[in-house]
Structure 1
Amino acid sequence: MRRSTLGSTLVLASLAIAQLAAPAAAQTLAQRIGRTDPAKMRELRAVHEGAGKMQFQPLLGADAVRSNLVFVHRGVILPKSGIGQHYHHQGEEMFVILDGEAQFTIDGRTATLAGPAAVPDLLGHAHGIYNATDKPLQWLNINVGLAKAYDKFDLNDPLDNATLDRIPQFVSLRLDRALLKPVAAMDGGTGTVRYRRALEPTVFSTAWSFVDHLVVPPGASVGSAYIPGMSEVLYVVSGAGEVTVAGETAPITAGDAVPVNIGQARAIRATGAAPLELMVIGIAEDLATKADYVARQQRPR
């Protein structure tokens, strides 16, 4: 008999809601950064009535930025385990796998994607994920709401025996460096970085506005800049560097999630021997601000 998600999915929900209730005290940038730490992960079973178990850690909560970010979660999905198919009617998520491969399901259609890859789980669409392999899978989840609130409706579908489509019947992306384009002196920085916008604003129904993929070579940097009315989360996929937010600088490394609040300029610099690779999540202050951002992007330059 499957163990009830009253012990697992409600942990996810209660963590998110608890983070809404307690505004963050004044902290340094280094303290605000969510850092992946396997020692801090807890074990969850039957997440959203899914199969098996996973290791789980919250990186950022709803108090991280003023926009409607609800959380950034990090975890490890163990072999033959996953997150059962479920709905959010007030929010959108994006499941990311950083290695291996996983079976992603959207609205009952399932396909296998090789990591690093991501699938946006859009407003009012059922979604889940299953690790059919014999290896643990590194997993990341971002949730953005219509408001700073978390809701869920489980379908009691563990997804451990899904029929697979050869071609995914849903939106997806791969963090494929071959797709990146060179950008010299990005935002006034040094050297040439590689960049692409992986998901456009039109993908999302919430104020979630974009997903970017960025690689900064050793010694290069992205200059100080901000987008009016836009918050960001910088997730470090690999490498090491430093980030400056509102004039304060902190080191960053793989597994870190950096919150950048509305109105804060941020700069990025690679400091290691390998490139610094990031996924950049943009969340507008509200839908009107997002619409204005889209309009500005469409104007002739």
Structure 2
Amino acid sequence: MATTVRGERRPFGPIANDVSGPAVTHRQVGGEGVCRWKMLMNGMHLEGEWNCVEYVVVEPGASVGEHVHLRTEEIYYIVRGHAVVTMDGVEIRAAAGDLITTPIGSSHSIANRGDEDMHFFVTEVFPGEGPAAPPAHLHVPDRLEPGAGIRSAEVDLTRYFTGDWRRFRLLDIPAGGRLDERVPTDRSIVLHVLEGSGAIVADGVRHPGGPGLSVALTPGLAFTVSPTGAQPLRLISTEVGVA
């Protein structure tokens, strides 16, 4: 969303949400069975070309039916369980830790053929100009830096999309550790907790929570992330440019 009005930039503040209280959908987009779906962030409340940030739980035997995005580009990050993603007629077997990119115009569906719930995190962003790259399937934990302390794995999303995507990161913060960063002035960020409990502090507000906590952060904002228990904290970060 544009934030410059009559020559004055009007910055947004942080947004916090979690995955509690989802809607129950039946035969979502013409699929099978039951899914639990929640919009975590609406793009109209974020700076940059975000369309939405969502969280979906697909029950055993259920699916999100085949569909085509004509106005947005999309990523899926598998949080828990196993998925079968059919992309342009090709089946992709995906599991927790897998990132799947969907360029504009590609047809895709996602199914749970296992016996446990499958969870995935979704981001959609408006496209730019030029040809899109083919869909990609990446196992992000394989990219984690070795060693002790805070570890990170990074995917450069600019190579996969036409829109103003930037980085996708997986972050592991050990118990007693603390991530201390500032959002670059040319982008906004959505953090999403995968494992452990922790606190995200930004703009003087502390946002505590466990798996499913999501916090959107605005350009130039300083923030910290730290575990609050004896276990490490794992989270993902999605970055989108701000014009």
TM-score band (shorter)?
0.7 to 0.9
**TM-score, normalization by structure 1:** 0.70
Which residue of structure 2 aligns with residue 166 of structure 1? Answer: none
Shift of 1:143: 1.2
Match of 2:161 in 1: 204
Structure 1 residue aligned with 2:144:
180
Instruction: Tell me if 1:224 matches 2:205.
Output: no
1:67, 1:262 within 8 Å by CA — same for their partners in 2?
no
Q: CA deviation at 1:209?
A: 1.2
Deviations 1:119-162 (A, max 9, x none): 11122222211111222212221111239xxxxxxxxxxxxxxx
TM-score of the superposed pair, with normalisation by structure 2 = 0.85
1:36-77 deviations in whole A, cap 9, x for unaligned? 11xx12211222211222111221112332112221111210
* Paired position in structure 1 for 2:30: 49
Which of 95, 107, 116 is matched with 1:126 structurally? Answer: 107
Which amino acid in the other structure matches residue 183 of structure 2?
Y
Matched, 1:34 2:3: no
Aligned match of 1:107: 88
Match of 2:195 in 1: 238
Gaps in structure 2 of 5+ consecutive residues: 1-11, 129-133
Match of 2:241 in 1: 284
Matched pairs, number: 228
Distance in 2 between residues matched to 1:128 and 1:199, nearest whole Å: 24
Cα distance in 2 for partners of 1:182, 1:244 equals 27
Q: Verify: 1:261 aligned to 2:218, yes or no.
A: yes
- Equivalent pair of 2:183/2:218 in contact (CA under 8 Å): no
1:84/1:129 contact within 8 Å kept: yes
* Alignment partner, residue 20 of structure 1: none
The CA distance in 1 between the partners of 2:157 and 2:41, in whole Å, is 23
Structure 2 Cα separation of the partners of residues 268 and 135 of structure 1: 30
Superposition RMSD in Å: 2.3
Which structure 1 segments of 5+ residues have no match?
Answer: 1-26, 148-168, 184-190, 287-301
- Report if the CA contact (8 A) 1:104-1:130 is conserved: yes
Q: Which residue in the other structure is 2:3 paired with?
A: none
SS of alignment partner, residue 24 of structure 2: strand
Distance 2:64 2:230 in 1: 36
Identity of aligned residues (%): 22
Higher helix residue share: 1
2:76 maps to 1:95: yes
Question: Aligned equivalents of 1:173 and 1:276: distance in 2?
Answer: 22
Q: Which residue of the partner structure matches residue 118 of structure 2?
A: 137
